[in-house]
Structure 1
Amino acid sequence: MSQATEYIKEVRANLAQRDGNQAEFLEAVDNFLATITPVFEAHPEYIEANILGQITEPERAFQFRVPWVDDAGKVQINRGFRVQFNSAIGPYKGGLRFHPSVNLSVVKFLGFEQIFKNSLTGLPIGGGKGGSDFNPKGKSDGEVMRFAQSFMTELQKHIGPDIDVPAGDIGVGGREIGYLFGQYKRLNGFSGGILTGKGLSYGGSLVRPEATGFGLLYYVDAMLKAHRDDLSGKKIKLSGAGNVAIYAIQKATELGAKIVTVSDSDGYIYDERGIDYKVVQQIKEVERGRISEYAKRVSTAEYSKGSVWEAPIDCDVALPCATQNEIDVDGAKLLISSGVQVVAEGANMPSTPEAIKAYRQAGLLYGPAKAANAGGVAVSALEMSQNSQRLAWSFADVDQRLQKIMQDIFQKSADAAKQYNLGDDYVAGANIAGFLKVADAMYAQGIV
């Protein structure tokens, strides 16, 4: 057994002993460790400095109580979290997720992934993540506002434009960002760079709402073109109906592909003629309704209960844009038998390890989340730049920068895979390319 293999095994054993109950975090770490051995074989100095031990331990993590009053006058209590994972290349950057599934393990898994995702963008931002087990679904605007104000009252003690800049994630859209920003301003004065995903009227960036969905398609387009193909005429199976999914549908349509499914936690829509993103946007973002409404408004659409990944629908490309572990090995095998050529992840860790193994065995082109869905944080960093300069760039300017960043992310991943003789393994390529930049910075800065 090589020194690198022994070292990685030792770090993993220490994590299991410390964090054995954090399944999501350990899954993310295992997916990363499975690809990184060649780097430590080439860089024994990283072993000496225990870079892997450092990078898998957050620099700090906060858990706090969030009390708020509902519309009935009853006091409710939720938990808030912020994990500041790594600041070697810049201030902590990562979203806030409001969802009942949020716990320390989920936030650590997201924050760990964010380190490498942010590194891949080429922009000077470190990795962090946060959120709460609060569920905004079914809550009034007043309840969401009171919760957000209480959450920010504690969070604001630990963040700042040059320290930690949160953004949105699942359950945190424009409404929630507005309330969070308002409370921060109330307590600290106006600071445009404290949150990203803001409204255009108070420092937000054009393309930020579209960024993750657009970026996902720019990444897929780059991956296909590297294999002498493109999106024109491709039939795409997609999950989710939130921000990422909506704008992925829009950009896919613009690039000549056809999205035939969209879903939420209750069921999915299938429309052979193609999904209309504007109808989805009206139902989900304006009316905050369920995706079943789509079939009532579009005569060619069919609604079914259950997971879209259990439905035998032929497709060329699959874009999971809902949540973690939504595609298991059976879902992966069904995709393969349905003719899929490409899987690219719009959500964070939506494929189980067994599903990823099935993709690889089938020879699919596979774009992992840390690369394929980095468009959101990329434009968040561009929003930070505009805030710092007191400027507002045009839609076309930001979109062009986003497209270039996503093309570069693919190329960095492809180049790293080639450098380490890993063929078209873009998972390993993304992990290695993202890791090397952070590891070099950590090594240069010493034991801190």
Structure 2
Amino acid sequence: MSTIDATLQSNQQKAKQYVTKVYNATEQRNPHETEFLQAVKEIVGSLVPVIARHPEYMNSGILERLLEPEKVITFRVPWVDDQGKVHVNRGFRVQFNSALGPYKGGLRFHPTVNESIVKFLGFEQIFKNSLTGQQIGGGKGGSDFDPKGKSDMEIMRFCQSFMTELYQHIGPETDVPAGDVGVNAREIGYLFGQYKKMCGAFEAGVLTGKGLGYGGSLARTEATGYGLVYFVQEMLKDNGLDFKGKTVIVSGSGNVSIYAMEKAAEFGAKVVACSDSDGYIYDQNGINLDTVKELKETGDERISAYTEKHPSAEYFEDCTQIFSIPCDIALPCATQNEINAETAQTMLDNGVKAIGEGANMPSTNEAQDMFLENHILFAPAKAANAGGVAVSALEMAQNSGKISWAFEKVDARLQEIMKDIYQNSMQAASDYGTPGNLVAGSNIAGFIKVADAMTEQGII
């Protein structure tokens, strides 16, 4: 063995030991935060070759600093329902890393929200935001409040109470929240109105996902779903494939799912199934997107009502079984960990060719490994669903200049960003010994940019 080979092997071993040590320390410090630890394990495991080649990251404690949020804010959110009863929810904002710019990440209102969920989302957001090439750091927030079944007035009162605490921690150059699960244009409007009242100023850049009349961006609603399909299309083209003529399944039926279905159909695919938290529909003739939009965008009906207009379609109550339907391309856009090892095996047995993650961490680490080991084309969430935050950053740019861009301009820029993310991730995977592995490639490409910025800014 040459001296160079021996040095490389030694560096590799030291890097592996370092990464393991850092992960174990994180696990001991956060023993009950399963979602956060899952995200950490998936990301840091792919960074061993980077640390081996750049021991300066190890020497300056980049991973230790990266895995600890800069600030975690937890607060009480009291509100009154329409019957005059007082309720109390928990509010969260994790400001994870600001090396590249102000914290940026959505607010999630859902009963499952806790500190682990918010930390996992915020941690992933660091790398996702880095990949976009925009000047935005990583953050996330939300509450265990459930908007489902609440009146507009109840949601307004909750949002006002939530923002009464949050406003002092955010700002256009500090922390810029957006929407996520349970937080759409209605909630953003109520939150913005309360922020404006508390601050006594119209600061459009403090929130993204706003209405078009007060600083929102065209194409923001479509961005995550469209961006997902743009990314997957690049991946397919690189492997001699295309959406045209392919059978597609999309889990979920919110904005990400709806606009992923729309763009996939535009590219010639036949989308045959989608879901909500109650169950899923299967339409062998192809999902009628106008019906889904009518149910979800205007009436907030359950997806089961689809069969009333399309009696040839079938409805099944267990939403977790949507991926038992054979398909060429699967786009999981519902929630974290919806695809486990058992589901992954079913998909492999049914001949799935490509998977694009529209939700955040929809595949467990075991499922992800199974797809990669079986050479399935796999587009990981932090790269494939970055279109939403990319256009949020474009909304911030428009707010800063007090201008509005045409839909076509924003969409063209989105396509460029998704193509760049794909190419940069592929290049990083190749440079660090895992050619074609977009999981490793996106982790590495996102990490290096943040690590370099942290190094240049000193120990803070």
Q: Deviations over 1:272-316 (max 9, x none)?
A: 111122211111121111000011112331111103545532211
- Give me the whole-angstrom Cα distance separating, in 2, the residues matched to 1:357 and 1:436: 23
Aligned residue in 2 for 1:106: 117
Checking the alignment, whether the CA contact within 8 Å between 1:247 and 1:277 is kept in structure 2 is no
Question: How far 1:258 sits from its partner (Å)?
Answer: 1.2
Checking the alignment, whether the CA contact within 8 Å between 1:309 and 1:327 is kept in structure 2 is no
1:96 aligns with 2:95: no
Q: Deviations over 1:163-213 (max 9, x none)?
A: 000000000001100100110111112111010000000000000000000
Aligned partner of 1:135: which letter? D
1:440 aligns with 2:447: no
1:381 aligns with 2:381: no
- Structure 1 segment 49-60 matched on structure 2, within 5 A: 49-60=60-71
Out of 58, 82, 85, the position equivalent to 1:47 is: 58
Question: How far 1:33 sits from its partner (Å)?
Answer: 1.5
Checking the alignment, whether the CA contact within 8 Å between 1:24 and 1:109 is kept in structure 2 is yes
- Give me the whole-angstrom Cα distance separating, in 2, the residues matched to 1:14 and 1:318: 36
Out of 325, 347, 360, the position equivalent to 1:348 is: 360
Aligned partner of 2:217: which letter? S
Out of 15, 19, 30, the position equivalent to 2:41 is: 30
Aligned partner of 1:291: which letter? I
SS at match of 1:432: helix
CA 388–429 in structure 1, closer or farther in 2 if over 3 Å, else same: same
- Give me the whole-angstrom Cα distance separating, in 2, the residues matched to 1:258 and 1:414: 28
Aligned residue in 2 for 1:279: 291
SS at match of 2:306: helix
- Give me the whole-angstrom Cα distance separating, in 2, the residues matched to 1:281 and 1:144: 22
SS at match of 1:209: helix
Out of 130, 135, 147, the position equivalent to 1:119 is: 130
Aligned residue in 1 for 2:436: 424
1:325 aligns with 2:362: no
SS at match of 1:409: helix
Please list every run of at least 4 consecutive aligned residues from structure 1 whose deviation after the TM superposition is greater than 3 angstroms: 308-312
Question: How far 1:101 sits from its partner (Å)?
Answer: 0.4
- Give me the whole-angstrom Cα distance separating, in 1, the residues matched to 2:246 and 2:184: 30
Q: Which moved more, 1:143-152 or 1:348-357?
A: 348-357
The normalised TM-score by structure 1 is 0.99
Out of 27, 43, 49, the position equivalent to 1:16 is: 27
Question: What percentage of aligned pairs have identical amino acids?
Answer: 60
- Give me the whole-angstrom Cα distance separating, in 2, the residues matched to 1:300 and 1:195: 43
Question: How far 1:230 sits from its partner (Å)?
Answer: 1.3
1:190 aligns with 2:182: no
Checking the alignment, whether the CA contact within 8 Å between 1:213 and 1:373 is kept in structure 2 is yes
SS at match of 2:408: helix
- Give me the whole-angstrom Cα distance separating, in 2, the residues matched to 1:389 and 1:298: 47
- Give me the whole-angstrom Cα distance separating, in 1, the residues matched to 2:151 and 2:102: 33
Checking the alignment, whether the CA contact within 8 Å between 1:346 and 1:373 is kept in structure 2 is yes
Aligned residue in 2 for 1:87: 98
- Give me the whole-angstrom Cα distance separating, in 1, the residues matched to 2:144 and 2:293: 25
Aligned residue in 2 for 1:303: 315
Q: Deviations over 1:376-433 (max 9, x none)?
A: 0000000000000111000000000001100111101100001112021100000000
Out of 394, 397, 410, the position equivalent to 1:398 is: 410
- Structure 1 segment 199-210 matched on structure 2, within 5 A: 199-210=211-222
- Give me the whole-angstrom Cα distance separating, in 2, the residues matched to 1:430 and 1:123: 15
CA RMSD of aligned residues (A): 0.9
Aligned residue in 2 for 1:152: 163
Out of 387, 401, 415, the position equivalent to 2:427 is: 415
Checking the alignment, whether the CA contact within 8 Å between 1:239 and 1:308 is kept in structure 2 is no
- Give me the whole-angstrom Cα distance separating, in 2, the residues matched to 1:302 and 1:236: 16
- Give me the whole-angstrom Cα distance separating, in 2, the residues matched to 1:41 and 1:386: 41
Checking the alignment, whether the CA contact within 8 Å between 1:26 and 1:109 is kept in structure 2 is yes
- Give me the whole-angstrom Cα distance separating, in 2, the residues matched to 1:417 and 1:164: 31
Aligned residue in 1 for 2:232: 220
Gaps of 5+ in 1: none
Checking the alignment, whether the CA contact within 8 Å between 1:68 and 1:75 is kept in structure 2 is yes
- Give me the whole-angstrom Cα distance separating, in 1, the residues matched to 2:236 and 2:375: 14
Checking the alignment, whether the CA contact within 8 Å between 1:310 and 1:334 is kept in structure 2 is no
- Give me the whole-angstrom Cα distance separating, in 2, the residues matched to 1:298 and 1:187: 48
- Give me the whole-angstrom Cα distance separating, in 2, the residues matched to 1:60 and 1:51: 17
Checking the alignment, whether the CA contact within 8 Å between 1:295 and 1:301 is kept in structure 2 is yes
Question: How far 1:55 sits from its partner (Å)?
Answer: 0.4
Out of 4, 11, 18, the position equivalent to 1:7 is: 18
Checking the alignment, whether the CA contact within 8 Å between 1:91 and 1:163 is kept in structure 2 is yes
Q: Deviations over 1:197-255 (max 9, x none)?
A: 00000000000000000000000001011112211111101100111001111111111
- Give me the whole-angstrom Cα distance separating, in 2, the residues matched to 1:309 and 1:290: 17
- Give me the whole-angstrom Cα distance separating, in 1, the residues matched to 2:77 and 2:290: 35
SS at match of 1:260: strand
The normalised TM-score by structure 2 is 0.96
